[in-house]
Amino acid sequence: IERVHLLGIRKFILPMFEESEMNGSNWQEFTKVLRNISSVVEKYNILICLETVLDGTKLIEVLESLACVNIKCVFDTGNRITCGQDIYTDIILLGDRIQHVHIKDKDEDNNNVLLGTGKVNFKKVFESLACIGYKGPYTFETHRGKNPIRTVRYNRTLTQFFHNEAFDG
């Protein structure tokens, strides 16, 4: 943590998947550890962002139970859409608890696909983010396509269009 602080890192993304998956039935097992981590990183002004697939209501319950001002969440569009959640309503519910957004699209088989070709409606994602006044960072976690440079240009253009439509009207 001290070294992370020396590097100027102010946000720590904590993915809660696979062996460390946090779900609706086991989340209480993580509370003591998360509170301990929170108290250590708080000294260095570091924010912890939990990346889970808990629905918005359950994630709010978890965050409120933790009662740590430096624990918020990551919102991953692709991972959440594959769980059958109403991700657009979850964005509104979570509000300022969202401190980082992963931009990803997934198909019916849970594969990462080119943005706009899967199940995520990016127009609605950005409208929901605009509704909560989200000003935080975005990270692409996308399919690379046949030409990664061309794909990243496409991703940037697509997301910038929907972002501008939603935030600038």
What rounded mean pLDDT belongs to the chain? 96
Strands 11-15, 105-106: pairing kind: unpaired
Judge contact between 152 and 115, C-beta under 8 A.
no
pLDDT tens figures, 55-114: 999 999 999 999 999 999 999 999 999 988 899 999 999 999 999 999 999 999 999 999
Does 169 have pLDDT greater than 80?
no
Give DSSP secondary structure letters for 30-86: GHHHHHHHHHHHHTTT-EEEEE----HHHHHHHHHHHT-TTEEEEEEHHHHHTTT--
Q: What is the mean pLDDT of residues 140-147?
A: 94
pLDDT tens figures, 33-55: 999 999 999 999 999 999 999 99
The pLDDT confidence band at residue 1, using thresholds 50, 70 and 90, is: confident
The 10 Å Cβ neighbour count of residue 126 is 24
Percent of the chain with pLDDT over 70: 99
pTM over 0.75: yes
Closest by CA position to 129, among listed 154, 156, 166: 166
